[in-house]
Structure 1
Amino acid sequence: MSVDINSGRRGMLIGGMEMPAASARTTDDINPVTGDVYLTVPAADASDALAAIEAADVAFPGWAATAPSVRRTLLTRAADLLEQREEEFAEILVQETAGTRVWAKFNIRMAAEQLRQGATMATRQTGELLATDVSGEWSIAVREPAGVVVSIVPWNGPLILCARAIAVPLAVGNTMVIRPSEDAPVTSGLFLAEVLTAAGLPDGVVNVVTNDRADAPEVIEALIAHPRVRRCNFTGSTAVGKIVGRLAGEHITPVLLELGGKNPILVLDDADVDQAAEQSAFARFMNSGQICLSVDRIIVDRSIAARFTEKFLEHVAALAKNGPDSPDAIIGPMIHARAAARVAELVSDAVVKGAQILFDAGPVDGAFHPPTVLTGVTPDMRIHSEEIFGPVAVIYTVDSEEEAITLANDTEYGLSSAVYTENGTRGLMVARRLRHGSVHINSHTIADEPQAPVGGVKDSGFGHFGSDWGAEFFTETRWVTVAAPRAGTR
């Protein structure tokens, strides 16, 4: 199997073979900027999902029995291969999602670290000796791989989120079926699967099923409902996550969900304004704001609001000068024109209802939404409560720390947050009151490390991705007792 982008076609990966859909149907992978077909991939249906699950199930006993050090070595080798193919991946990402080259290279680096960190879980402790009241008996808790794992991967951080979804499950001995995004079938699934195959993973250990958007409900339900699927993980919108969670519940399939966010940054009155402004601009506009951890509410104490806003706008203007084609750009086109139009609707709704535009870099052009900064946003505006997921920043001004915390928590989401203050104790006290899965003091909301737990509360999901934090989810804990032979027996 190889990523032959010149052929204009790609197949699914099932049982180590590049496969068409059973129906022979295909679906188009569209370049967001030109609107042209970048390549075509198979449009799978439920029968293809079944074939992928069966291939993973056949491969499971052998992979689970593979020496842990071998699994670790193969995943580490895959990380090395990823880094060697940085330029190739960057070109595909630009064509497939309109992501910038800065974002592509960040995906490579972070995905490689996800694989390396995940690989360490292959040789972790797999059990413990329990206390028992039975004389002469050993009581043992043992963790073993669960079986076939389905990973449903989004387009926005495609390689990072694909690597995170599969690294630990593979390391601890599970086999995988990846369902990549319809908007990024190569970068959110097929590319990494090919790298893992090249690294030496056996046939069937990693499988990839691509589908047309219209067939997504059928394919996803077929993947989750199958009795051989023992775990599922999903990263994406809260709306789709609720559907995945419901299906998993119906079929008693344990599921890990990382969903949307309305992530706040609190800039308190004693903050380092320069640091807060620079990092807030990065946290809003990196990858055009299309990161689940992007800051959606920048909440600033009134005493420093004017100075912060001035510095923040300077950083936004500097970012805007680097056009989408610049090698240093972090703001580029969005995933498609529909996404840009939705963000434009949020801005228009806010302005009509009284919000003020502090920065506007020009009109919407197809999939490109210019970097924009708003203030004066109120709860009756859609942008106040909906996840923005685009290059629009909203600055709120508050009169107290208490008001800042209330506004930060006043959302159905709870994924990531940040606090800027020069008083560490104060930062910790505020952090403990923020209802978000992660809180960063004097660092931004998109801070991420492969060994750290990543997950949300409330409508941002449940469970944690991450190496140490995900290993238990992707294994079954079993109780084993060993009694001493009775006298006179052998």
Structure 2
Amino acid sequence: MDEIQVISPVDGSVVAAVAETEPAGVRTTVAAARAAAPAWGDVPVADRAAILDRWAQAVLDAGDEIAAVTSAEMGMPLALARVTQVELVAAVLQNTAAAARDFPWLQKHDGFEVHHVPAGVVAAITPWNFPVYQCATKLAPALAAGCAVVLKPSELAPTGPTRFVELAIAAGVPAAVFGLVHGRGPTVGETLVTADGVDVVSFTGSVAVGSKVGALAGAAIRRVALELGGKSAAVVLDDVDLDEVIPRAVRAAFVNSGQACNAPTRLLYPRASADRVEALAAAAASALRVGDPSDPATDLGPLVSAAQYERVRGFVDRAMAAGARPLGPVAELAPPYCAPVVLADVERDAEVAREEVFGPVLVLLPYDDDADAIAVANDTDYGLSAEIWGADPARIAAIAARLRAGQVKVNGVRTRTRPGAPFGGFGKSGVGRELGEWGLLEFCEVKAVLA
């Protein structure tokens, strides 16, 4: 059994280690979940919801511990870890519990009834960038729906998810219902996706890996939910106060050092405002402090690894070689620390304007009118998220109706402030939705009883 060491990007130290689960162990864990699933599905919804509420409180009580291990393992600033990996996680659990209580598990129609029943056993595979939150968005609705779950968190940040599982069991989820395996995707992940007894696969990660997960699940004729990448556009209209909006839009793009699938990394602005937008964007980026994530003054911690740093800098170097103009000098920091980069003079079809960088790189793209802004925003293989900044509600609504994105956020609303809104995307951003009643539906089968 191999041991996987967790290397902190903060200082290169070993901060944790996990034993990689053997294939036989993965299959045994799935079999145990399979055996436990029927009894869990028979537990009244109200009781399952109550467990989620207790779980939420346990997460809040363990908040300092969870935030600290998240920050150490993947470099997230401690304050952000507290907000997104503790407070938001508790909010998702509580919101899911409330949604489960209100969900129409039984619907009566003329001549038939529709029952929403547990889908069975869920294989959940989660990423490193928001390690506990991404567990919550899958595990809370799956368990609330009456499914058993086997979780494989990222080997780069496993400690927070492991603690999250422990807290769930302490809150009342039967241990056999909630399995945990550790390891790398090509070994443990593939074994889990293809194991006999899995009914639904829920995966968050890259498009490349997601397409493989989808193919493996499809070959076994099992349902799959994929939450993949994004290249989200922030559309700034010509009726806003640029001095107020541009700094906010820039900061949103660089949350978690840009390591967020829904980061608005394409900033679309009126062409006539180019000089002002560039000056404001440059100033906002340069004001962000990169450093030790435990320092309250730090805005951006390190990237998750040296390999991720090289990938991000490769995008920047190729963009500059193709004619992109950085706004200000590109600071050279010790890897994996990466200073934010804002690029102007980028062609709309350039690699850096179309591919997900997953780092602190923001592309400025001018547009001519609202129709052109919509065309640019939609000119992507992705469709996870989009943002509109404007003053006229009717105009905003008209633009939002034409954007091909799973979420459209208006005037700075963040996903984390609306934990009941469905999350998921169009195109290569994936299949299915998380959160709220839509998250519950992903883990239900629909049974019609005709009489």
Q: Which TM-score applies when normalising by structure 2?
A: 0.95
For 2:219 and 2:320, the matched residues in 1 are separated by 43
Match of 1:167 among 109, 134, 140: 140
For 1:125 and 1:266, the matched residues in 2 are separated by 37
**Counterpart in 2 of 1:158?**
131
Q: CA deviation at 1:313?
A: 2.7
Residues 61-114 of structure 1: CA deviation (Å, up to 9, x unaligned)? 221112222211111011001111111112211221111112211121110011
**Counterpart in 2 of 1:4?**
none
Higher alpha-carbon deviation: 166-175 or 55-64: 55-64
Given residue 248 of structure 1, which amino acid in structure 2 is its aligned partner?
A: A
Match of 1:240 among 199, 209, 212: 209
Q: Is the 8 A contact 1:277 1:311 kept in 2?
A: yes
Q: CA deviation at 1:323?
A: 5.8
Q: Is the 8 A contact 1:413 1:459 kept in 2?
A: yes
Q: CA deviation at 1:360?
A: 3.8
Q: Is the 8 A contact 2:182 2:188 kept in 1?
A: no
Higher alpha-carbon deviation: 354-363 or 173-182: 354-363
Match of 1:178 among 146, 151, 155: 151
Identity across aligned pairs (percent)?
Answer: 34
Residues 41-61 of structure 1: CA deviation (Å, up to 9, x unaligned)? 111232121011012112212
Q: CA deviation at 1:389?
A: 0.8
Q: Is the 8 A contact 1:265 1:297 kept in 2?
A: yes
Q: Is the 8 A contact 1:417 1:444 kept in 2?
A: no
**Counterpart in 2 of 1:44?**
21
Q: CA deviation at 1:470?
A: 1.9
SS in 1 for 2:254: helix
User: Where in structure 2 are the equivalents of 1:103-114 lying within 5 Å?
Assistant: 103-106=80-83, 107-114=85-92
Q: Does residue 1:390 correspond to 2:384, yes or no? A: no
**Counterpart in 2 of 1:423?**
392
Q: Is the 8 A contact 1:439 1:445 kept in 2?
A: no
Match of 1:125 among 104, 115, 118: 104
User: Where in structure 2 are the equivalents of 1:344-383 lying within 5 Å?
Assistant: 344-360=313-329, 362-379=331-348, 381-383=350-352
Q: Does residue 1:56 correspond to 2:10, yes or no? A: no
Q: Does residue 1:84 correspond to 2:57, yes or no? A: no
Given residue 61 of structure 1, which amino acid in structure 2 is its aligned partner?
A: P
Gaps of 5+ in 2: none
**Counterpart in 2 of 1:71?**
48
| Root-mean-square deviation (Å) | 1.8
Change (3 A) 1:388 1:446: farther
For 1:275 and 1:46, the matched residues in 2 are separated by 54
Q: Which TM-score applies when normalising by structure 1?
A: 0.88
Gaps of 5+ in 1: 1-23, 133-138, 483-490
Q: CA deviation at 1:343?
A: 0.8
Higher Cα radius of gyration: 1
Residues 395-443 of structure 1: CA deviation (Å, up to 9, x unaligned)? 1222222222221111111110011121111111111111111112222
Q: Is the 8 A contact 1:127 1:141 kept in 2?
A: yes
Q: Is the 8 A contact 2:10 2:292 kept in 1?
A: no
For 1:167 and 1:444, the matched residues in 2 are separated by 23
For 1:359 and 1:447, the matched residues in 2 are separated by 31
Q: CA deviation at 1:144?
A: 1.1
Q: Does residue 1:99 correspond to 2:76, yes or no? A: yes
Q: Is the 8 A contact 2:290 2:338 kept in 1?
A: no
Q: CA deviation at 1:322?
A: 7.0
Q: Is the 8 A contact 1:142 1:479 kept in 2?
A: yes
Q: CA deviation at 1:324?
A: 4.1
Given residue 66 of structure 2, which amino acid in structure 1 is its aligned partner?
A: F
Q: Is the 8 A contact 2:203 2:227 kept in 1?
A: yes
Q: Does residue 1:25 correspond to 2:2, yes or no? A: yes
Q: Is the 8 A contact 1:172 1:471 kept in 2?
A: yes
For 2:396 and 2:262, the matched residues in 1 are separated by 20
**Counterpart in 2 of 1:341?**
310
SS in 1 for 2:124: strand
